[in-house]
Structure 1
Amino acid sequence: MVKAREPQSPPVAAESTVSRAERPLKLLIAASVIFPIVIYVIAGWISYGQHVSEATDRLQRTVAAMQEHASKVFETFAISERYLEELFNDTPDATIRGNEAEYSKRIRNFIATLPQLRDLWVIDGNGKPLVAGTVNPLPRDLDLSDRAYFQAHRNPDVDTYISEVIEARAAATEFFAITRKRLTADGRFDGVYLVSIAPEYFSNYYASLPRSDLTVAGLVRNDGVALARFPANSEFKRSAPGSIFMRAIAASPESGVTDGSSSVDSQRRIGAYSKLPGHDVYVYAALDVSRIRAKWLHAMAAHLIFGIPATLMMAGLGMFALRQARREAIVNAQLRQEAARRQSTELALRQAQKMDAVGRLTGGIAHDFNNLLTAIIGNIELALRRNTSTDARVANSLNAIRQASMRAATLVQRLLTFSRQHPQEVKAVNVNRLVNEMSEILHRAIGETVRVETVLASGLWNTALDPNQLESAILNLAVNARDAMPDGGRLTIETSNAYLDETYVRQSGAEVEAGQFVLVAVSDTGTGMSLDVRDRAFDPFFTTKPAGAGSGLGLSMVYGFVKQSHGHIQIYSEIGQGTSIKMYFPRLSDPSAFPAWEDSAEPIAPGSGEHSEAILLVEDDADVSRFVVDALSDIGYRVTHAATAAEALEKIKTMPDIALLFTDVILPGGMNGRELANAVKRTHPNLPVLFATGYTRNAIIHHGRLDSDVDLLTKPFTTEALAKKLREMLDGEKPPEKA
């Protein structure tokens, strides 16, 4: 009898494996086409908003310059009016007419150096001109009593009047006038003093402004009457009552921004306006939306040059990977079966190695991941700052992205702290003072149902540690304690001087040397821990909280921080009796060995324009460098970017006014950030250097602590943190280092 062969399972398993392997690759190929398109559309939308925001900012700066210019010119008009008042105050009309030539010469000499003035006139109470600077002698039959500016001053409440642009009767020219009432000694109306102003003086100034910043500019009364305009338009005399501009100044009389179609030529423009102090006159500037759109389209087209080939390459690689997957699926299935057989024998070994494995894994991804988070968080902050959309959902979406990114950054920092790779900025810290200053944030974090008590020892020793990480550790322990007391309870934070003797160190297995320590104990009256939970409490990702309620890294982070600070941590807990976690930090016998911990002062805002500080940024990651350049430029700094140390050394030669070097630690090309700083110091010994890093095993951090002469900003960082750190360095607020 021939025994029937049993069906062989490997081919079936291989077939299902092939099918499982193909599905994600097919999805990847589809995503490689769809995802770039979606990203391009989203990026285009965000980019358009940024272009509009930047154009609006430029318009507002231009209007501010126009307002300053117009204010100074109008001050000249006021001085001219006072000159007429002082020259002709209480002077009879007959005397002025009798000495017309002499007075005319004096007025002509006065206005000779003032190109903004056409002339200065004195008009009597009947509307007859008495004297002028450029017309001499005046026609005796000239009657100005019908002019609007003359009629306006018959009203006793009108002291100063600004006219529309009118044609001169004594000369072939146009002007607008600022007039002041002329009174007799007993206060009766006796005519007007008239300052004749050249509209083209303002138009020529507006024509000199950069064309990229504006399309139309002008000077207009609050009732819409045009006084000066660039480009000139003889048909435009007054803004329509229902125009965008008139509605805007009615809603916001001092200054504002407009967006809509012009009532003059129906062209859609974004505009800005501002009122002159002391006058019912506005300066305004507007930019065609079509110009903004053209600039935006040009920028987006440039991205397509790189995006289309990259998309095609990704799709091609996906097809190649799909073919390879089909060949290798059977072999992989066999390998997985072999791996499954060995899994049981490797469990113990993996458990023993998990501490070191998490540390190496975290360090391996930290640099690239923190670069990505820096670019994401920074650009979201820029987008929030520049967001002009009235749709609240836009801001909500951006804030949601920012919060998620910050949670990711916190997760990375916790992993680094647990694996003892987070850089510590060690200070000489008085723990009592730090705990006192945390009282407000602790009350906010744990709520009203938990009573917070502090028992602070007098004469507490100083210790050397990173105060920010100690605050985070105490806050983590306080939040865990709150969760262990759902019905309320008491949280106690206690400090004292302690001594760990050799017997305790030997029996507890503590990785510290016997000696003097500063104890910080956080205790609660909560539910307590079982022995099994207590033994695993410091394991990464271990948590007793429901799914989604915790990352399992809180106590792991505290454990890593204490160990990195050369300290010791111990848990004391019983079911129903609460928990006490004690952290021991070595006593600092020489306080001068580390800089003292001080509250940082509020940073001084940087300058702007030609007085802003020049900063050389050295960063090889394009996304990070783009965010830093945009953020610092928005604040007011002048930023020069270099991707490598060699490029930075060349560019610094062209920066005689450089104020600070901001460099990543890990750089391509053979020279890292520390070596670059040393090279720069040879030619610029007093130049401040700020390092940035997303990973700690590098040239400026040793044994988990920063070198004493290093200023570091850890990635990912926000615009606020970057601006504050720069001001601290540029303003010399950092405590002097030990000689």
Structure 2
Amino acid sequence: MSLSTVRLHQLLVAAAFLVPCVVLVGAAWWNRGEVLREQESAVVRTAAVMHEHASKVLDTAELAMDRVDDYVFDRTWSQIAAAATGGFLSTLKAPLAQATAVWVVDPRGVVRASSRDGDVGSDLSGRDVFSVHRVRDIGIYVSPAAQEAAQEGGTERQATFMVSRRRSTDDGRFDGVIVIALGTEYFARFYAEIAAPTAHLAMLLRADGAVLVREPPARPADARLPAGDPLMRGIHARPQGGATSGVPAGGPERLYAWRRVGDYPVQVAFSVETSVALDRWYDNLRVYGLVATVSALTLVLMAWLALARARAEQEALANLKREHAQRLAAENQLRQSQKMEAVGQLTGGIAHDFNNLLAVITGSLEVLQRRLARGDTDVGRFINGALDGTDRAAKLTHRLLAFARQQPLEPRPTDANRLITGMVDLLRRTLGETVTVETRLMAAPPPVFVDQNQLENAVLNLAVNARDAMPGGGRLTLATEAATLGDGRPAVAVTVRDTGTGMPPEVVARAFEPFFTTKPQGRGTGLGLSQVYGFVTQSGGTVRIDSRPGEGTAIVLVLPASPDGPPDDADARARRTAPLPERQDRTVLVVEDDAMVRSASAETIGELGYRTLTAPDGAAALACLDRNRDVAVLFTDVVMPGLDGPALAAEARRRRPDLRVVFATGHPRDDAQEGPQPAPGETVLRKPFTIEALAEALETGGRVEAPA
């Protein structure tokens, strides 16, 4: 028994020595792997931060290129070379800390406009930032980094790389490039801040290994990584991003992480030497040596400290992610508000230009109708003019004006059942054989007070969206039922329901936003539902979406009811086709700076029996008035270069007090906005106008609006 006790103690002594040694070796080996994995995770996280930063910088540069392209669009090169363009580029560059210069380069490679005066006239024809765009559109191109020449009065040369994009004419021909030079120091400072104080290597590089930014900086000979470098092998194997380790030529083993920056031809990469992690491991070994000699309490305490440390790191990472999400949400909100502001600023101007085209369409078609009625077949030019104007203007004008809440709607009592029934055949032809169109209409609904054409467009728009949501076919149901608005007024609910894929809640929440679309690029503008929302809201109604994924979608338009019955369509048609009296003894002077609108207006007025004279601007109109004393009516556009319509009318009536004036304007109807205020003997006619409205305007001196 004594021998057994001694042997047992010997075994316990051996075990007391061997077990801690085995545990220490096992723990040390496990800890080595953990340290390397943690270091790799830290490298990956740093690369992700670098990726986010580079994405925002390049996205900002691309947005700046869009603004430059919009600014120089439709300008001649002599206009682009003007000082105003340079001032615009300087203003655009000022808030961009990362940009050193913004250039507009013509098709010969000459810098025609720059944010820096000294760059104008520079020849880039031999530079890759220009030449790569000649043959085809390759999107965004990033040039290798180079030392930028010192500016006048400066002594330092700054390293930059250039981002360029091709400009093309409407027919696809090469029309020069837009170039933004980005300073490498801007990136290097950021990389130094996020990586400090760890010894590191942070790079922004191209797929061919050309290093754009390196922190810390290196010799010029290290401006390109060889194909055999571990980082380049990793990028070629996984271009979108990843992590690896390897031994570069002439250096120690390193941990690498890289990510491609969006769709741009550049990568961000971050690496540290493996020895950095191993140094931490050696420190841990010393700690484990102490742990092997202390009691279980010490082991429990250290485990608790390790857990607390992990929880603190997890909480810090969660806070970082939350702050990142909040920043993205704020940026998205700002971007959306800027987009809404831009659309609001553009809508009125676009509507004015397109309404000029609609004036041509209306005049051409009505002259065509009247000439055909009397047997005149020489009407080809009127057909061509109407088709061309329709193709260029109608759809986009209606959508933009409805969204901008500036469209002059012409509401009248409308039978919703009759409108839907009349559209069924059109919808069946439009949607194809795979979609069954059904109607569920209430008996004798009250008329709704809306613009009939806009309601037809809204139903057609929703039907086409429903077809796209039923790629394998399905059923489209159009229904009407009694409803009430929020204030208790009677209404009619027009429902467009499909059996398609449906929408998740996050899509439903954004469905009415302008330019929001779930369709592939090139398949939708994102204006369809926003146009419907704008029309219904402007008409005093409401619209809602009932949809769930896999259960189809129902869009309900609640439209206010009209207390009056629908108008007599036969009487309206009779009024539109009633013959107009001859006015051979009166002369009308047509003043319009747009040649196409001027010609169409003169033809339409001539069709009414008037003699016509034309003038392209206010000065020519006054000269024509002085030469032709028989001019009885001045028919003038409102917005013209030089002498505008109201100023022309005032001067003309000063010379000829008996002269009557008709203003033709394409601006939306809004009495509170600036516009011509008619005096006695003056008339305001809105474009596009019918021939009857034109006749009434030429005959009367009060304000006349285009009839329904």
Question: Where on the TM-score scale, by shorter chain, does this alignment land: which range?
Answer: 0.3 to 0.5
TM-score for both structures, normalised by structure 2: 0.43
TM-score for both structures, normalised by structure 1: 0.41
Which of 1 and 2 has higher RCO (CA within 8 Å, sep 6+)? 1
